[in-house]
Structure 1
Amino acid sequence: MKTKLILLALLLPCSFLFAQNYYMSAPEGFGAATTGGGSATPVTVTTLTDLTAKLKLTTPQVILVSGTINCTYTSVQAKDKTILGLPGARLINLDQTASGSGILNLKAGSNNIIIRNLIFEGPGAYDTDGHDNLTSEATNLWVDHCEFQDGTDGNFDNKGAADNVTVSWCKFTYLKAPKAGGPGGADDHRFSDLIGSSKTDAPADGHYSITFKNCYWAEGCKERMPRARNAELHILNCYYNTSVSGSLAIGLGGGSNNTTCYVEGTDFAKIGTAFKNYTSTDGGTIRITFKDCLNAPANSGTTVTKQAYNYSVLPTANVAGFISNPSCGAGATLQVTAQGVISTSCNNLGLNENVHN
């Protein structure tokens, strides 16, 4: 019996570690303090009106999104909310005009928000200076297992007051051909993720603190994976695979407060350029370090040290296979019951992780 108990004790941590990676009960990284709606009784919404009404409530809410919701651009201040997509749940807006494009904007003052297992679908890239599938000025935000498709201006941007954010197991892609001739001047605006809207844009503490963990910049992405100013970024176990000509993954400018970026265990499998320095236009200084990455360029600036928080790490050699897995990888791949219970059925992938303390 003693031998069996010892074996069980050895096996449980491995199972737990994987569960905390594919299915995380709480975020790791800069957004680790996010709790969303907590233990509030889940409510199901099927229309934009219902979704918006629940987001505006002052009480904590766990909101289950069912089916496809056709959206108009919605700007809302939300606090203590969890938005969880049931399997196949999708928010969609096919408007390409500057004022009508985009899906959800979390206004300044939004705080403690979780968004999981949703597909955001836009009409395709068109440089009209329009809106994004998701734009956030929220503090304490966790976006997990979502798929962002075909944003007009971008897929998912953080700007203004946004801070303490974790983006995990998300997939960014462009499935529709870009529309040329927009007044903004770029005929191919498949630009996925902007952090800071200008070199002077920054949260109260001066730095956008954002973790990208197990994310997948997939086919169709051209630039901004991400593009950041005034930021401290941790890009962990991410996967880049896009065949777009001239594609650019990470772009950094210093801005008013300088920028650091620690890229760890990441696979730049197929990308035109992995990193570009924008200090000539953004000012300030940048530092970027690539640690245990595949196909990565040289570091820039003095070495960036790893983040002080605890987090789990996949072996870099396993990143491509696990992040791109269509059933148990990045994107809206969680199984969620009608009661809001998330499945952990993907624990059987047999993956071993390490934990960094």
Structure 2
Amino acid sequence: MSETAPRRSRRRRTSVIAAAAAGIIATTTLIAVGTMSAHAAESSPVGFASLNGGTSGGSSSTTVTVTTASALKSALSSSTSQTVRVSGLITISGMYSVASNKTVIGVGSGSGITGGGLNLSGVKNIIIRNLKFTNAADDSINVQSSTTNVWIDHNDLSNGYDGLIDIKRGSDFITVSWNRLHNHDKSMLLGHSDDNASEDTGHLRVTYVHNWFEGTGQRHPRVRFANPVHVLNNYYSNIGSYGVASTENAGVYVERNYFENVATPTVTQTGDSDSGNLKVLNNYKVNSGTEQVRNGASVAAIPYSYTPESNNTVKATVQAGAGTGKI
């Protein structure tokens, strides 16, 4: 789908979090961004998903293990706060809806979903971890319609039809961490369309940290309206089109990432969208071009405390720790 076409309605060691964002007080949470071991996976999300009351997912005392599409669909849509353990690679058709207060986690390194994806619409408090997503007929993970407090962590996503992780339509307080994305073009959309300012402005606050974009084309992420968006300590390797795009007056802070073989690490305009605001700090570049920037007060301050990893170590850390089988 082109950059300008409307999106379909069914798709879209440690420091203390102690700050406030837009009048919302952060809960006290430990954030492990910088000097942690690559394999020491966080037990709770860092960044925006730790705000607004935090993201705890479903109850760990109520657990169901699923091995079939029908059992998966039923468990995901249940009103019960629970942990859904996905065992094996389950073939589904279409998008399965995920209800509030769910942890969806893969068993081992090869469990997950093929043929379809997960739809989070108007829900809250969701954790998606350690899952393999491949060959989705639409989006692999679609977050939309004012969904809040989502943590998407340590997944492997590839070869979908549209977006791998799309976030849109007023959704907020989300962290996307330690995911490996590969064999795909349009990776991550943030913001539905150019005419959706009324719904998206003031929302879509997302932290992207320690993800590995491996040979993907574009949208890592591609942002509209959101401010701030924090793109921190990610590894970009052999990117086809561009790394990060800020459009439609968005404010994106691209900090201490590792770009290798990326001709255009960042852009402030793409498609027919109006330009956005983008500032960069200490990105590490190997055989890569110069970032496009629009610095200024229009990129809002990051509203949480964090300790970033040194830019030159990001590649090794992310390669060792991103994807499934690492938690």
TM score, norm. by length of structure 2: 0.80
Q: Are the counterparts in 1 of residues 242 and 267 from structure 2 also a CA contact under 8 Å?
A: yes
Cα distance, 1:39 vs structure 2: 3.2
Moved over 4 A (4+): 202-205
For 1:270-306, what per-residue CA distance to the aligned partner results, in whole angstroms no more than 9, with x for missing partners?
21211222278323x5221111211352531315465
2:17 matched residue in structure 1: none
CA separation in 2, counterparts of 1:277 and 1:68? Answer: 38
CA distance in 1, matches of 2:235, 2:38: 19
Which whole-Å CA distance do the structure 2 matches of 1:223 and 1:57 have between them?
A: 35
Q: 1:60 to 1:334 in 2, by over 3 A?
A: same
Shift of 1:321: 0.9
Among 62, 76, 79, which residue is 2:97 paired with? 76
Describe the SS at the equivalent of 2:208. strand
Q: How many angstroms apart in 2 are the aligned matches of 1:76 and 1:316?
A: 38
Question: C-alpha displacement at 1:333, in angstroms?
Answer: 2.7
Deviation (angstroms), 1:308 = 2.1
Check the 8 A contact 1:253/1:281 in 2, yes or no: no
Q: 1:115 maps to what in 2?
A: 128
Which has more helix, going by share of residues? 1
Note the C-alpha offset of 1:208.
0.9
Give the equivalent residue in structure 2 for 1:333.
325
> After superposition, where does 1:1-357 map in structure 2 within 5 Å?
18=36, 22-32=40-50, 33-87=54-108, 88-93=110-115, 102-107=116-121, 109-122=122-135, 131-137=138-144, 138-174=147-183, 190-201=185-196, 203=199, 206-219=202-215, 221-232=216-227, 233-242=229-238, 244=240, 247-254=241-248, 258-278=249-269, 281-283=272-274, 286-295=276-285, 297-302=291-296, 304=299, 306-325=301-320, 329-335=321-327
Cα distance in 1 between the residues matched to 2:58 and 2:258 = 34
The residue type equivalent to 1:28 in the other structure is V
Q: Is the alpha carbon distance of 1:224 and 1:58 closer, same or farther for their aligned partners in structure 2, counting shifts above 3 Å?
A: same
Preserved contact between residue 267 and residue 293 of structure 2 (Cα < 8 Å): no
In the TM superposition, residue 205 of structure 1 has moved relative to its aligned partner by: 5.5
Rounded to whole Å, the distance in 2 between the matches of 1:238 and 1:50 is 35
Amino acid in structure 2 at the alignment position of 1:74:
M
1:68–1:89 contact (8 Å) kept in structure 2: yes
- C-alpha distance in structure 1 between counterparts of 2:326 and 2:296, whole Å: 39
* 1:7-31 Cα distance to aligned partner (Å, 9 max, x none): xxxxxxx9x9626984111101111
8 Å CA contact 1:279, 1:286 repeated in 2: no
User: One-letter code of the match for 1:82?
Assistant: T
Quote the RMSD (CA, aligned, Å). 2.5
Report the AA paired with residue 215 of structure 1. Answer: N
Q: What is the distance in 2 between the residues matched to 1:252 and 1:308?
A: 19
298-307 vs 59-68, which deviates more?
Answer: 298-307
d(CA) in 1 for partners of 2:100, 2:129: 16
| 1:169–1:279 CA distance, 2 compared to 1 (3 A) | closer
Whether the 8 Å CA contact 2:268–2:293 is kept in 1: the answer is no
Contact conserved, 1:142 with 1:166, CA < 8 A, in 2? yes
SS of aligned partner of 2:265: strand
CA separation of 1:265/1:74 partners in 2, compared to 1, >3 Å: closer, same or farther? Answer: same
Residue of structure 2 in register with 1:180 after alignment: none
RCO higher in structure (CA 8 A, sep ≥6):
2
Identify unmatched segments of 5+ residues in structure 2: 1-31
Could you tell which deviates more after superposition, 71-80 or 299-308? 299-308
- Which ranges in structure 1 are unaligned for 5 or more consecutive residues? 1-13, 94-101, 124-129, 176-189, 336-357
The answer to whether the Cα contact below 8 Å between 1:260 and 1:287 also exists between their aligned partners in 2 is yes
Q: Deviations over 1:193-217 (max 9, x none)?
A: 1112201335465331010010111
Give the aligned residue type for 1:111.
Answer: K
Deviation of residue 322 (structure 1)? 1.2
The one-letter code sitting in structure 2 at the alignment partner of 1:110 is V
